[in-house]
Copies of this chain bind each other. A is one copy, B any other.
Amino acid sequence: MKFLIIGGDAAGMSAASRAKRNDPDMDVTVLEKTADVSYSACGMPYNIADPARDINDLVVRKAEVFRQKQGIHLLTGHLATAIDRAAKIVRGVDTQGQAFEHAYDQLLIATGASAVRPDIPGAGLPGVLTLKSLNDGRKIKAYLASANVKTVVILGMGFIALEMCEALRARNINVIMTKPGQTFLPWLNSELSAIVRQTVEAGGVQLCMGDAVERIERANPLRVVCGAHSFEADMVLAGIGVTPNSGLAADAGLALGPQKAVSVNHRMQTSDETIYAAGDCADAFHLVTGQKTWIPLALRANRGGWAVADNVCGRNVELPGITGTSVFKVLDLQVARTGLNVQEATDAGFSPVEVVITSRSRAHAHPGSTDIRVQMVGDQTTGRLLGVQMVGKEGVAHRINAPAVALFNRMTVADFVQTDLAYAPPFGPVWDPMLTAANQLLKDL
Binding site for B on A (CB under 8 A): 10, 40, 42-43, 46-47, 50, 53, 57-58, 60, 287, 297-300, 302-303, 319-320, 322-329, 334, 336, 338, 363-367, 395, 397-409, 411, 415-416, 418-428, 430-432, 434-435
Contacts of A421 in B (CB 8 A): 299, 325, 401, 404-405
Question: What are 6 inter-chain pairs, A to B, with CB distance below 8 A?
Answer: A10-B430, A299-B423, A320-B418, A327-B423, A395-B397, A407-B420
* Complex contacts, A419 vs chain B, CB 8 Å: 323, 401, 404-405, 408
Q: How many copies does the complex hold?
A: 2
Complex interface: chain B residues within 8 A of A418 (CB): 303, 319-320, 408
In the complex, besides A43-B425, A398-B402, A405-B416, 15 extra interface pairs with C-beta distance below 8 angstroms are A10-B430, A40-B364, A40-B430, A42-B430, A299-B423, A302-B430, A320-B415, A320-B418, A323-B420, A326-B423, A328-B424, A397-B422, A401-B434, A404-B419, A409-B409
B residues near A398, Cβ cutoff 8 Å: 395, 397-399, 401-402, 422, 427-428
**Chain B residues with CB under 8 A of A364:** 40, 43, 58, 60
How far, in Å, is A105 (CB) from chain B's closest CB?
Answer: 27
Whether A302 contacts B365 by the Cβ 8 Å rule is: no
Query: Of B50, B322, B329, B422, which one neighbours A426 at CB under 8 angstroms?
Result: B329
Return the chain B residue nearest A421 by Cβ.
Answer: B401
Q: Which residues of B have CB within 8 Å of A411? A: 405, 409
Closest to A159 in B: B424
* Chain B nearest CB, measured from A373 CB (Å): 16
Select from chain B the residue with minimum beta-carbon distance to A42.
B425
Closest B residue, CB atoms, query A399: B398
- List chain B residues, Cβ under 8 A from A404: 402, 419-422
Identify the 4 closest CB pairs spanning chains A and B, nearest first.
A397-B427, A401-B402, A398-B398, A327-B422
Q: Are B46 and A367 in contact (CB under 8 A)?
A: yes
Residues on B with C-beta less than 8 A from A415 are: 320, 408
* Bound form: Cα–Cα A382–B363 in Å: 38
Chain B residue with the shortest CB-CB distance to A45: B425
Inter-chain contact B298/A426, CB cutoff 8 Å: no
Decide if B423 touches A298 in the complex (CB within 8 Å).
Answer: yes
Known contacts A58-B365, A298-B430; is A324 also within 8 Å of B405 by CB? no
User: Which chain B residues border A303 with CB–CB below 8 Å?
Assistant: 418
Q: Is the CB of B329 within 8 A of A43?
A: no
Inter-chain contacts of A336 with B (CB < 8 A): 422
Residue in contact with A43 in the complex, picked from B40, B53, B302, B366, CB distance below 8 Å: B366
Partner of A427, one of B40, B329, B416, B423: B329
Q: Give A46 to B426 CA distance when docked, in angstroms.
A: 9
Q: By the criterion CB–CB under 8 Å, are A424 and B397 in contact? A: yes
Cβ contacts under 8 Å, A324 to chain B: 420
Q: With the chains together, A4 CA to B363 CA distance in Å?
A: 29
